[in-house]
């Protein structure tokens, strides 16, 4: 074994880093809306079952694969069987493609923090946001700025970069989230917002809703790409995988729900229709903020919250491919970060221009940004997840043993892994491609 390979200094550091990697834009701008639109509490119960009994399984396996082999995804797959090496490269491809759209959003967040900090507030955010994106340079520069801000941490290494960033940003994130939630629920009409999110509606129970919950769970838990494998590869041998995975799931879900508790009371107390994604965060919410009490601090805290979520997730995305260059190709970490950042920058530029200059450049009828989002969420992640389940369930059983332990619950998970979960993800891929 490689003696100089870094390890997390404590279990808490690992938990903060993996929660930081999992909690991202997916939790804040997608989950609350999906839950509200798909039947509120009914969706929540379904989602909890899906993450606890389906998505927890590949999550445990990924962490176990990293922990056992102590290597990057390409080397892990190669160690399991040289024939599988190609799938390691598919992981790295995913790890390069996701940042290319994710970091564009990071750039917008930086821009909005600057707007509010300098009190430079536009009168109409809808007009402002489309003007920002039709500029040929600004979105690219913002994306590159976000890339640099994020890349600094893997550049500095596991312990003094990634660990430190998460140790500082995640507690601050939690503090700001709770503060905003308290502020939001004390607004007039907050109840309406909470009702939108939580009210159970059994009529909305459809197959689509199940697929939606599965897709969301994979993305939010960062499963299927090797990010968790990479973080797992820095684990100490005594770590209990199952316990860590469920703790991670608990906090990821709690934070997603709290994000909704912040967003919907604010939206409803201003009589605005709930939306999701870029429209929610960069148009609807800022427009509301400016008319609210404590507008500037609330807006700055909200965008800082998003920034921390995006940076800590971005770190886990970059680290996956950096780790591959370091472990598999024996390239020095600093050089590896520069190479990966350069490749990311190359593909992130056309993605950043997808809302303006390159809006008419379409792949399968989608802008480059949307195409990257679509192909990773609908194909690459479910495919990577299916592969991990087949390896753990049938090909390399020592991984499942490490992942689940030998208690009764572990046995239940192992049964699900072999006979249920692969079918589920095969169906996800099938429907996603149709
Ligand atoms: N989970 C993050 C979010 O919810 C995004 C993310 C980070 C991710 N690393 C990943 C998604 C790896 C898939 C794979 O925003």
Q: What confidence tens digit (pLDDT) does each residue in 47-82 have?
A: 999 999 999 999 999 999 999 999 999 999 999 999
Structural domain containing residue 303: 11-433
Pocket test for ligand 1, best of 18, 19, 20, 22 (most atoms within 8 A of CB): 22
Q: Do residues 180 and 23 touch, judged by C-beta distance below 8 A?
A: no
What's the pLDDT score for residue 178? 97
What's the pLDDT score for residue 72? 97
Give nearest CA residue, ligand 1 atom 6: 222
Ligand 1 centroid–CA 94 distance in Å is 11
DSSP character string of 80-139: H-GGGHHHHHHHHHHHHHHHHHHHHHHHHHHHHHHHHHTT---S-HHHHHHHHHHSSSHH
Q: Report the C-alpha gap between 206 and 191 in whole angstroms.
A: 27
With b for 16 or more beta-carbon neighbours within 10 A and e for fewer, the 380-415 pattern comes to bbbbbbbbbbbbbbeebeebbebbbbeeeebeebbe
DSSP for residue 367: E
What's the pLDDT score for residue 37? 85
Ligand 1 centroid–CA 201 distance in Å is 29
Tell me how far apart the terminal alpha carbons of the chain are, to the nearest angstrom. 45
Ligand 1 centroid–CA 315 distance in Å is 10
Residue 3 maps to a domain: no
Residues 6+ apart with CB under 8 A from 253: 47, 48, 51
For the domain that residue 53 is a member of, what is the CATH number? 1.20.1740.10
| CA distances (Å), origin 16, targets 88, 165, 286, 305 | 26, 10, 29, 15
What's the pLDDT score for residue 105? 97
Residue 388 maps to a domain: yes
Ligand 1 centroid–CA 120 distance in Å is 32
Give nearest CA residue, ligand 1 atom 10: 222
What's the pLDDT score for residue 208? 85
Q: Number of folded domains in the chain? A: 1
**pLDDT of the chain along its 434 residues, tens only?**
455 799 999 999 999 999 999 999 999 989 988 988 888 889 999 999 999 999 999 999 999 999 999 999 999 999 999 999 999 999 999 999 999 999 999 999 999 999 999 999 999 999 999 999 999 999 999 999 999 999 999 999 999 999 999 999 999 999 999 999 999 999 988 999 999 889 888 888 888 889 889 999 999 999 999 999 999 999 999 999 999 999 999 999 999 999 999 999 999 888 888 888 888 999 999 999 998 888 999 999 999 999 999 999 999 999 999 999 999 999 999 999 999 999 999 999 999 999 998 888 989 989 999 999 999 998 999 999 999 999 999 999 999 999 999 999 999 999 999 999 999 999 999 988 77
Pocket test for ligand 1, best of 24, 30, 62 (most atoms within 8 A of CB): 24
Pocket test for ligand 1, best of 73, 217, 220, 382 (most atoms within 8 A of CB): 220
C-beta neighbour count of 94 within 10 angstroms: 24
Instruction: Specify the pTM.
Output: 0.95
Residue 103 maps to a domain: yes
Q: Report the C-alpha gap between 21 and 8 in whole angstroms.
A: 14
What's the pLDDT score for residue 2? 52
Residues with CB under 6 A from ligand 1: 21-22, 24-27, 98, 219-220, 222, 225, 227, 313, 316-317, 381
Q: Report the C-alpha gap between 285 and 277 in whole angstroms.
A: 11
Ligand 1 centroid–CA 225 distance in Å is 9
What's the pLDDT score for residue 3? 57
Residue 20 maps to a domain: yes
DSSP for residue 294: T
Point out the ligand 1 atom lying closest to the alpha carbon of residue 27: 4
- Token digits for 419? 């006979």
Pocket test for ligand 1, best of 106, 154, 219, 254 (most atoms within 8 A of CB): 219
Residue 239 maps to a domain: yes
Q: Report the C-alpha gap between 150 and 370 in whole angstroms.
A: 22
Ligand 1 centroid–CA 123 distance in Å is 33
Residue 6 maps to a domain: no
Please state the φ and ψ torsions of residue 89, each to the nearest 5 degrees: -65, -35
Residue 166 maps to a domain: yes
Pocket test for ligand 1, best of 31, 92, 222 (most atoms within 8 A of CB): 222
Ligand 1 centroid–CA 221 distance in Å is 6
Q: Do residues 290 and 121 touch, judged by C-beta distance below 8 A?
A: yes
Q: Do residues 376 and 94 touch, judged by C-beta distance below 8 A?
A: yes
Ligand 1 centroid–CA 122 distance in Å is 31
Residue 276 maps to a domain: yes
């Amino acid at each position: 074994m490689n003696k100089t390979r870094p390890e997390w200094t404590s279990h808490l550091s690992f938990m903060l880093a993996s929660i930081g990697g999992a909690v991202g834009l997916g939790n804040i701008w997608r989950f609350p809306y999906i839950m509200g639109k798909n039947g509120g509490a009914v969706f929540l119960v379904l989602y909890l079952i899906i993450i606890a009994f389906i998505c927890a399984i590949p999550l445990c396996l990924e962490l176990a694969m990293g922990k056992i082999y102590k290597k990057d995804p390409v080397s892990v797959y190669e160690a399991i069987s040289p024939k599988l090496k190609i799938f390691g490269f598919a992981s790295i491809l995913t790890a390069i493609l996701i940042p290319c759209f994710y970091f564009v959003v990071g750039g917008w967040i930086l821009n909005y923090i600057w707007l509010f900090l300098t009190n430079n507030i536009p009168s109409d955010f809808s007009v402002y946001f489309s003007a920002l994106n039709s500029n040929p340079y600004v979105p690219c520069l913002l994306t590159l700025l976000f890339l640099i801000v994020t890349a600094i941490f893997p550049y500095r290494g596991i312990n003094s970069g990634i660990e430190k960033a998460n140790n500082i940003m995640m507690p601050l994130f939690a503090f700001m989230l709770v503060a905003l939630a308290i502020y939001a629920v004390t607004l007039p009409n907050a109840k309406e917002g909470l009702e939108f999110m939580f009210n159970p509606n059994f009529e909305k129970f459809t197959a689509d809703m199940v697929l939606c919950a599965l897709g969301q769970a994979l993305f939010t838990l960062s499963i299927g790409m090797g990010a968790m494998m990479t973080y797992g590869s820095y684990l100490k041998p005594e770590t209990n995988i199952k316990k860590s995975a469920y703790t991670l799931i608990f906090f990821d879900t709690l934070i997603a729900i709290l994000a909704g508790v912040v967003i919907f009371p604010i939206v409803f107390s201003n009589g605005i229709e709930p939306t999701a994604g870029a429209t929610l965060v960069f148009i609807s919410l800022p427009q509301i903020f400016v008319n609210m009490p404590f507008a500037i601090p609330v807006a700055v805290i909200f965008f800082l919250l998003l920034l921390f979520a995006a940076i800590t997730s971005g770190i886990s995305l970059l680290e996956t491919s950096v780790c591959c260059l370091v472990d598999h190709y024996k390239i020095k970490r600093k050089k590896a970060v520069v190479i990966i950042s350069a490749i990311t920058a190359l593909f992130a530029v056309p993605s950043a221009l997808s809302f303006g200059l390159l809006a008419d450049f379409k792949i399968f009828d989608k802008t480059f940004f949307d195409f990257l989002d679509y192909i990773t969420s609908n194909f690459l992640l479910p495919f990577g997840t299916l592969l991990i389940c087949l390896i753990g369930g049938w090909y390399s059983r020592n991984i499942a043993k490490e992942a689940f332990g030998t208690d009764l619950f572990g046995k239940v998970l192992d049964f699900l892994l072999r006979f249920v979960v692969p079918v589920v993800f095969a169906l996800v891929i099938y429907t996603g491609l149709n």
